[in-house]
Copies of this chain bind each other. A is one copy, B any other.
């Protein structure tokens, strides 16, 4: 049996009882480590689970999937994923491969950022399409996510922005020379995401547009959702570019039209309650 086990978002104890029992039963346990991170490391998980974990990077899952699935038809193998196995990232490829090999699989769900963002008080059924904001480079500054956020807001919907993660990236030089030397991991912060959005707003204005999203649009910055030191901050997009949220992972929500109850919840987290009230009231039902 192949178990796909969601670990939730905080620490070792966010695994479900069912998930923990499965992990402890398995002969081999892989930890997917390229799309997200828990606030605790591999060692803390190993100690609590009482079993050794094999780190699975993207290369391994994509290129050595058969070794990962080896003998999973006669013994139990677990593939652990931060959040839910089918949350922000889907591991369909692994499932399809298992099915083709005749290996049964079982999904043990958990919270993912896709539903845990509800903790800020915005209602999940008022969210439109989720977008990913990628790190800009000197030569590549895509703006397509901005159009999606605008579209959601025009429809009154909130937008969850998942922020870029760069793990095991090679510099262009190392890549070209075939050297497997990796850059330090990078995680986009709410500040960086807000700055990129503000830059796009400026670009659009230079092109004579009047963007739906402005410096004053109410946003929510979230950091380490589900962990003990979780931080939520609500305020204008401008405020999000300077708010202090600490270590990764971060997410950003751009609000659409707000119900009074959503507004009241967001007030609990406002970085500046006086300006919040003022800006937010321009956009409630």
Contacts and interface: CB of A to CB of B under 8 A. Distances in A.
Interface of A: 6, 8-18, 20-21, 84-88, 90, 92-93, 95-96, 99, 107, 109-112, 114-116, 118-119, 121, 123-132, 151, 155, 157, 162, 225-226, 261-262, 264-265, 268
A115 B86 contact: yes
Oligomeric state, in number of copies? 2
B132 A99 contact: no
Contacts of A99: 268
A86 B121 CA distance: 8
A225 B109 CA distance: 9
**SS class of chain A's interface: helix, strand, loop or mixed?**
mixed
Residue of A8, A9, A21, A115 contacting most chain B CB atoms (<10 Å): A115
A124 B124 CA distance: 12
Contacts of A8: 16, 109-110
Residue of A20, A87, A110, A131 contacting most chain B CB atoms (<10 Å): A110
A225 B262 CA distance: 28
Nearest to A116: B109
B90 A107 contact: no
Contact of A87 (B9, B86, B93, B124): B124
Given A112-B115, A119-B107, A93 B17 contact: no
B86 A119 contact: yes
Given A14-B16, A110-B110, A127-B130, 6 more contacts: A15-B17, A85-B118, A96-B268, A111-B115, A115-B115, A129-B157
5 contacts: A8-B109, A87-B124, A88-B125, A107-B119, A112-B115
Contacts of A115: 84, 86-87, 109, 111-112, 114-115
Contacts of A85: 118
Contacts of A264: 92, 96
A84 B116 contact: yes
B130 A129 contact: no
A86 B14 contact: no
A90 B264 CA distance: 13
A14 B10 contact: no
B121 A125 contact: no
A165 B151 CA distance: 31
